[in-house]
C-alpha cells in the first residue's frame, strides 16, 4: 500500500483550517498529521513528527509569517514541500512566496479539486506556475530588462563624462544649488551653468532633477564614484 502524504495545515482562521483538513481527510492518499495557526506552531510540529507537505497561509501572526516560516523550514528540511494559501495576489507577495522555494501558490478561494491536485503535484516535486503567476513573472522580467537597458545606456553616458562633469553630478546628487556648486568648484557661475547644459544634452534631459532622479532610480551613483576615482587616478 502506498504511503499517504503527511500534511500540516497551517491557517490562523479556524473555519478555514477545518475546511482544508476536512477536504484532505476525504482523500485516501493523504492525511493531516498536524494543525497550526501560526508559524511558531508550524515549526513545533515539524520538529516533532514526520511531514511531507505543509499547506500554509502566508499571513498568520503577521503579514508574511508563512513566508518567514517557510524559509526556516526549508533551510532545515529541504525535502518538505510547501504550498501557500493566500487572499493576496500582489507582486510582492507572489514573488516572496516563490523565493522561499515553495512549490505552489493557491488562492484560498481555489476550487477543492485544485487544492487536492496541487498537493499531489507538489508532493511529486512538480513546481506549478499558474497563468496569473506566469503573467506577473513575465511583467517583472520585462521591467528588469528595461531597467538593465536603461542602466547600460546611462552607464555609457557616465563613462564618457569629463572629470568635472562627474564631480558636478555628485554635487547635484547631494542636492547642492548651482551657486553652491560654483563656490565649491571655485569657478564662475556661468561656467557651472554651461557644464550643466552639456550634461543635460548628453542625458537628453531638460532639468537637473530628471538626471538626478534617473541616477538614483538606476543606482548609478556608485558607478559614478568608481568612474571618477578611476579618471582622477
Q: Check if the beta carbon of residue 39 is closer than 8 Å to that of residue 63.
A: no
Q: Domain coordinates of the chain in residue numbers? A: 5-128, 144-232
**pLDDT per residue as tens digits for the range 106-126:** 888 888 998 999 899 888 887
Same topology for domains 5-128 and 144-232, yes or no?
A: yes
**pLDDT per residue as tens digits for the range 79-88:** 999 998 888 6
- Mean predicted confidence (pLDDT) in 2-7: 88
Lowest mean pLDDT among 40-49, 97-106, 190-199: 97-106
Q: What's the pLDDT at 119? A: 92
Instruction: For residue 180, give the C-alpha cell.
Output: 553652491
The DSSP call for residue 43 is H
Has residue 24 got a pLDDT over 50? yes
pTM reported for the whole predicted model: 0.56
User: What are the residues whose beta carbons fall under 8 Å from the beta carbon of 134, sequence distance 6 or more?
Assistant: none
H helices of the chain, in order, are: 14-25, 39-48, 65-76, 91-99, 112-123, 131-159, 163-173, 178-185, 189-203, 208-217, 221-232
Q: What's the pLDDT at 18? A: 93
CATH number of 5-128: 3.40.50.2300
144-232 under CATH 3.30.300.30, yes or no: no
Amino acid at each position: 500500500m502506498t504511503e499517504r502524504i503527511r500534511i500540516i495545515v497551517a491557517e490562523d482562521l479556524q473555519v478555514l483550517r477545518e475546511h482544508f483538513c476536512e477536504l484532505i481527510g476525504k482523500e485516501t492518499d493523504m492525511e493531516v498529521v498536524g494543525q497550526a495557526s501560526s508559524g511558531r506552531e508550524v515549526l513545533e510540529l515539524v520538529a516533532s513528527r514526520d511531514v511531507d507537505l505543509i499547506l500554509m497561509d502566508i499571513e498568520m501572526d503577521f503579514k508574511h509569517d508563512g513566508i518567514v516560516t517557510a524559509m526556516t523550514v526549508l533551510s532545515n528540511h529541504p525535502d518538505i514541500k510547501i504550498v501557500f494559501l493566500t487572499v493576496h495576489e500582489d507582486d510582492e507577495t507572489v514573488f516572496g512566496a516563490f523565493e522561499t522555494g515553495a512549490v505552489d501558490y493557491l488562492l484560498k478561494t481555489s476550487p477543492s479539486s485544485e487544492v487536492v491536485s496541487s498537493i499531489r503535484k507538489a508532493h511529486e516535486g512538480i513546481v506549478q506556475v499558474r497563468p496569473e503567476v506566469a503573467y506577473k513573472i513575465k511583467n517583472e522580467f520585462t521591467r528588469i530588462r528595461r531597467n538593465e537597458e536603461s542602466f547600460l545606456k546611462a552607464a555609457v553616458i557616465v563613462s564618457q563624462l569629463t572629470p568635472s562633469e562627474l564631480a558636478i553630478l555628485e554635487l547635484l546628487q547631494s542636492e547642492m544649488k548651482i551657486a553652491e556648486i560654483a563656490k565649491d568648484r571655485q569657478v564662475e557661475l556661468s561656467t557651472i551653468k554651461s557644464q550643466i547644459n552639456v550634461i543635460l544634452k548628453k542625458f537628453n534631459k531638460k532639468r537637473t532633477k530628471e538626471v538626478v532622479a534617473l541616477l538614483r532610480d538606476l543606482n548609478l551613483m556608485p558607478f559614478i564614484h568608481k568612474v571618477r576615482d578611476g579618471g582622477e587616478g
